[in-house]
Amino acid sequence: MSRTSSLTLSHPTIMSSGVCKSFSSSPSMATPARPTCQIYGKSGHVALNCWHRCNFKYVPTAPRPPRAFLASPSATTTQEWVLDSGASTHFTQDGNNLHSPAAYQGSDTMSIANGTSLSIHNSSQGLLPLPDTPRKLRLSNLLHVP
In 3-state terms, what secondary structure has residue 23? strand
Model's pTM, two decimal places?
0.48
Burial class (CB in 10 A: 0-12, 13-18, 19+), 144: buried
pLDDT digits (tens, 9 = 90+) for 55-102: 788 777 776 676 666 655 566 666 677 777 777 788 888 888 888 899
User: Which residues participate in catalysis according to the annotation?
Assistant: 84
pLDDT exceeds 70 at position 45? yes
Higher pLDDT, 29 or 101: 101
Could you tell me the pLDDT band of residue 31, with boundaries at 50, 70 and 90?
A: very low
Q: Which helix (H) or strand (E) holds 125?
A: strand 122-129
The pLDDT of residue 76 is 65
In 3-state terms, what secondary structure has residue 6? strand
Higher pLDDT, 18 or 4: 18
